[in-house]
Structure 1
Amino acid sequence: MLYDMDIQALNSATRFMNSSGNLSGKSAGDSNFSEFLSDAYDLAKSTDLQDKSSALSLLTGSEDDIASAMVDSEKAELALSLTIEIRNKVMDAYKEILNMQV
């Protein structure tokens, strides 16, 4: 499960990078970018759930490995930071487009 999230993030980033070089139309670009954003959100959500699950199992005593709980916590924090930064960049681009003179 730990490696599945890393592979999902790598696959979504690779798919976005590969598709951005050969975009043929507006709708293709929109769907690829929306898939990328959706994948980033799903990654943040799944890492958060994994973090909560490992913290709960550590607190209930069903698991003794504090290192894996800390790793899950850091992954969740990094995924959330990535999602926030993507949102900030999208909002900055949107504001820049709104300020363009036609």
Structure 2
Amino acid sequence: MNTAGINSVTQMVKPFETKGPTPTSTPYEAQKSFSSVLKQTIENVNESQLQSDVLTEKLARGENIDLHQVMIASQKASITLQGTLEVRNKVIEAYQEMMRMQV
């Protein structure tokens, strides 16, 4: 059983498995850490989209490429984009909830 797809999803989720900022970290360090995780995740989504595009173009040009490889790459790109959008939606929802809080 090929687990390459599962491993790539696991690697994408690993940056989110943090234990939170250490007691000695400053807000600036926490912000930099979050921004680097966000940037890396967006780059991973973009990379999967580009890989899917390349394979689709090869198939359209009639190059020797299996259809199932193209479909798998397309589904990986779709799933990573959907997952990213769901995380974005939850972050926006949490932000809106915090803004509704009365101090």
Which category describes the TM-score, using the shorter chain as reference length? Answer: 0.7 to 0.9
1:96 corresponds to 2:82:
no
Give 1:38's aligned residue. Answer: 39
Counterpart residue number, 2:8: 6
Equivalent residue runs for 1:69-88 within 5 Å:
69-88=70-89
Gaps of 5+ in 1: none
Q: Which residue of 1 aligns with 2:26?
A: 25
User: How many residue pairs get matched?
Assistant: 97
Moved over 4 A (4+): none
- Matched with 2:57 is 56
Q: State the Cα distance separating 1:18 from its structure 2 match.
A: 4.1
Once the two structures are superposed, residues 5-25 of structure 1 have per-residue CA deviations (whole angstroms, 9 ceiling, x without a partner) of 928x61x64344246363622
- Give yes or no for contact 1:47–1:72 (8 Å, CA) kept in 2: yes
Flag the structure with higher helix content. 1
Q: Which runs of 5+ in 2 are unaligned?
A: none
Distance in 2, matches of 1:63 and 1:54, equals 10
- Check 1:52–1:58 CA distance in 2 against 1; reply closer, same or farther (3 A cut): same
* RMSD of equivalent CA atoms: 2.3
Identity %: 28
CA distance in 2, matches of 1:22, 1:70: 42
Q: State the TM-score, normalizing by the size of structure 2.
A: 0.79
Contact 1:16 1:33 in 2 (8 A): no
Q: Assess if the C-alpha contact under 8 Å between 1:19 and 1:32 holds in 2.
A: no
One-letter identity of the residue aligned with 1:87: R
